[in-house]
Amino acid sequence: MFKRKHLLIILPLLFIALAVFVFFQTKARYENQVATKILDYSGELNPNEKMAIYNGEQIEIPGYVFEKQLVASNRVLGVSNQDKWIDIDLSEQKLKAWEEGNLFLETLISSGLPWTPTPQGEFIIWIKLRATKMEGGQGRYYYNLPNVPYVMFFENTKVPRWRGYSLHGTYWHNDFGNPRSHGCVNLPTPIAERLYYWTSPVIPQGKNMIYASADDPGTRIVIHD
């Protein structure tokens, strides 16, 4: 006869097995998560696209997205980039940019929601785009965002570039200080513009995109709780 003492042994084992299964399912899903589909690598703004969709609602793209406030850097290629880095604290929802131990800027951010978290670790910028179109999410969380401004995509060995994580300007919400994204780091657009020209690789005059290279490596980004 099946006795109560057997249940006391089997039930904890079943619970542990279920917990392990859920953990590995969640881990696999996260490792295959895509923050956004990168629909355009040209870096060009498209003035004909002035409407976006965010969480199922239409949003008019504000005029400031199409304006340029700053000028490209005149920094010489090959100048050391080792003393420049970006620190992102997810628990505080803050970004700090440092150069030789001096604070360049500090800002509130919006990182990924709990079910679409921003990855943690040390990354480098692999491409910068003046603007691009992003699409992703499902159902009520679907988004289609033309002309996302000042985009800095980052990667490392565990988070490859095809997963589409980036720092970028944000015109579809102003709720910085709270997680709101599908994994990217949302920034106020004026802050994103400053970082876009401050970080490496260096944007050449008159260009709207640049890949990192051995001669012009991407700025380091550290993301943590």
4-34: pLDDT as tens digits: 665 556 656 555 544 333 333 334 445 678 8
Nearest to 202 by CA among 156, 159, 152, 131: 152
pLDDT in tens, 51-102: 999 988 999 999 999 998 887 765 655 555 668 999 999 999 999 999 999 9
Distance, C-alpha 82 to centroid of its chain: 21
Domain 33-224: give its CATH code: 2.40.440.10
Question: Percent of the chain, pLDDT > 70?
Answer: 81
Angle subtended at Cα 33 by Cα 124 and Cα 193, rounded to the nearest 5 degrees:
40
Whether 134 contacts 143, CB under 8 Å = yes
Question: What is residue 7's predicted lDDT score, i.e. its pLDDT?
Answer: 56
Among the listed residues 167, 132, 135, 130, the one whose alpha carbon sits nearest the alpha carbon of residue 150: 130
**Which of 124, 115, 90 minimizes the C-alpha distance to 33?**
115
Length of the chain: 225
- pLDDT tens readout for residues 134-187: 998 888 889 999 999 999 999 999 999 999 999 999 999 999 999 999 999 999
pTM of the model: 0.84
